[in-house]
Structure 1
Amino acid sequence: MKRLVRIIRHGVLSMLDEQILESSTGDESTTQIRSEFEAKIAARKIFQNVAKRGSKLMTLNGTKTAVNKLHQMVNVVVSIIILVACLLILGIATSKFLLFISSQIVAMAFVFGSTCKTVFEAVIFLFVMHPFDVGDRCEIDGMIVEQMNILTTVFLRFNNQKICCPNSTLSTKPIGNYHCSPDMGDSIDFCVHIATLAEKIALTRQRIISYIESKKDHWYASPSVVLMNLEELNKIKMSVWLRHRINHQGMGKKLNPRALVVEEMVKIFKALDIEY
């Protein structure tokens, strides 16, 4: 292990998969690891590739349930059609028999017409629109997709409570998908007393930005600290705008770095004797 650390810190490592994929470019600077920071970025890329493959497997396993049920429904319909065709070919089905079957189909259409419409809309929602996969965190109360069926989708809340939602209802709602989103932004709002000196506010802004930019593993560069509004005539509302290096699929990975920023902000306020 010590030897590996020395190689990463003082030597150069190349990622084999990137060399194979980008061997035609001839630029080795993008495929070599020369520092600990670049090693962490390479490890993150490897983890993301493995996670994507795992999510694809979860998607296949999740949609398999819906596909199996759809397959059963199609089998029933095809079996009925084959039975009627065999009766016609063998001459068993007479005109009276066909008239009786037609009248029953018309009656069933009145009874089950809305159900057939709902099933058709659900199939279009699942297999054509396909707004989410199993395991995705969606912007429906922050729930995670647990199971996908023809008529319903089962969600899992943060406390492991299962919630069953009709697909006909979901098809009429806007659905935000965190898993399919790119690296996402965030904001931290806070207030300081209106009597706070402008020099202290400027110094606070500078220290917060410096801290965030020092955490390159979690945040993108160039965050912003802006004045938002005047609250209750004695407070200045401010906000820190920053961008994660991940999306919000994993809430723990989002909240932990954010909590560290908040803790650092509290330390800055206390060090500068700012009322917040």
Structure 2
Amino acid sequence: MIDVTSLHKISQDKVSDSVMKGLIDLISDSGLSTISNIIDETFEEADQKDTPITSEHEAYVVSQMVFKNVAKPDYKYIEEEDLLRFFDKDEVHDVLLLFEGAAGTGKIKRSALKNWVVKAYLDRKSLAHSLNDSRTAVKQLHKLATGIVIIVNIAITLLLLGFATTKVLVVLSSQLLVVGFMFGNTCKTAFEAIIFVFLVHPFDVGDRCLIDGVQMIVEEMNILTTVFLKFNNEKIYYPNSVLATKPISNFYRSPDMSDSVEFCIDVATPIDCIGNLKERITMYLNSKPNHWHENHSLVVKDIVDLNKLYMALYVQHTMNFQNMTDRNLRRSDLVLELKRIFEDLCIRYNLLPQDVHLSYKGTIPPAIPFIQTSPNSQ
């Protein structure tokens, strides 16, 4: 049995080998699929069989089925009393923390449930791919080790039986030196790749990484190469021996990450107005505890040209940047909220007076002669 409460307290960085081995053995022996199982509509039938979710669309369908089965008829939310049919009161509080906006209101929206189910499917899918690639790499390494052991056993057997004399061994060793000279660099590369994959292991399948200034998703891991996907689904093959020499940023393994928004306001803005700006920003961040941590700072970085204040807002997300789409949406909402606050508080930036010089570059038209005549002239 697994105590879920104790499982949540386990830190990914501090889990011991014995605990990890016990969890793996338990999951392996239980026959559970590494991908989420959908709830069949024939739940009450005794011969029900779960089928794995294989796409985001199926995950969306599952979320709709769960919402329909849990929420009251014609309700737009799942409320606490609906969850009490399945969980204890203490567990309901933990469940609400998983869904966006549910911790404060006590209600789970249909969209929040859908996002959570899709995210759970994607996480389990990445785990399944990672396990499959690790299993493939271990099999390849096992074949290589088996070949080396067989060769050593044959050599020892020939020596013990007396079939291999000293002259034969000298000839074989000379041939091995030639092979080592020809394939020495390849063996060195393969050894470095094995060390990188099994000992260093800086990423898993599905992790978002930053390499050479380019963000990429790990698509496939092999012993010698790793396949990445760029933002436009372009595949890039990196030799693992080359990756071992590069600094790699792993967003998925990072803790909750910080972000910043920089802007300028007029130097003539009153101090009281800046204080109101800080209060409004604090109210907005506190109203979205699922998106932002409470710790943030609004600082004045510099006074530029004696007419504008160069300011920066530093905030901390409640997630890392593995899901870059969610990060961009949260930051976009924050920037739009700042614009709304600026409009409400009449905070703006005005340019300094500028000198304007006018010049005429066209040709001067010829002067028309003025002739004055008397009324009596003919």
TM-score, structure 2 normalization: 0.61
Is the Cα–Cα contact under 8 Å of residues 122 and 151 in structure 1 kept in the other structure? yes
Q: Distance in 2 between matches of 1:181 and 1:45?
A: 20
1:11 matched residue in structure 2: 81
Q: Distance in 2 between matches of 1:256 and 1:217?
A: 13
2:274 matched residue in structure 1: 201
Post-superposition shift, 1:259? 0.6
Counterpart AA for 1:260: D
Q: Secondary structure at the match of 1:143?
A: strand
Please tell me whether Structure 1 or Structure 2 has the larger radius of gyration of its CA atoms. 2
> CA distance change for structure 1 residues 15 and 89 in 2, over 3 Å: closer, same or farther?
farther
Q: Give the gaps of 5 or more residues in structure 2.
A: 1-67, 97-101, 350-378
1:32 matched residue in structure 2: 92
The farther-off stretch of 165-174 and 185-194 is: 165-174
Is the Cα–Cα contact under 8 Å of residues 209 and 224 in structure 1 kept in the other structure? no
Is the Cα–Cα contact under 8 Å of residues 220 and 227 in structure 2 kept in the other structure? yes
Q: Secondary structure at the match of 1:215?
A: coil
2:204 matched residue in structure 1: 133
1:270 matched residue in structure 2: 343
2:48 matched residue in structure 1: none
Q: Secondary structure at the match of 2:218?
A: strand
2:286 matched residue in structure 1: 213
Superposed, 1:65-214 pairs within 5 Å as 65-89=136-160, 91-140=162-211, 141-214=214-287
Q: Give the gaps of 5 or more residues in structure 1.
A: 20-27
Q: Secondary structure at the match of 1:145?
A: strand
How many residues are paired up?
A: 266
Is the Cα–Cα contact under 8 Å of residues 209 and 222 in structure 1 kept in the other structure? no
Q: Distance in 1 between matches of 2:329 and 2:303?
A: 29
Is the Cα–Cα contact under 8 Å of residues 65 and 148 in structure 1 kept in the other structure? no
Q: Distance in 2 between matches of 1:69 and 1:39?
A: 50
Larger relative contact order (Cα-Cα within 8 Å, sequence gap ≥ 6): 1
Q: What does the per-residue CA deviation read over 1:65-99, in whole Å, with 9 as the maximum and x for residues that have no partner?
A: 32233233223323333443444455443332211
Residue from 109, 124, 131 that aligns with 1:60: 131
Counterpart AA for 2:316: R
Q: Distance in 2 between matches of 1:196 and 1:70?
A: 67
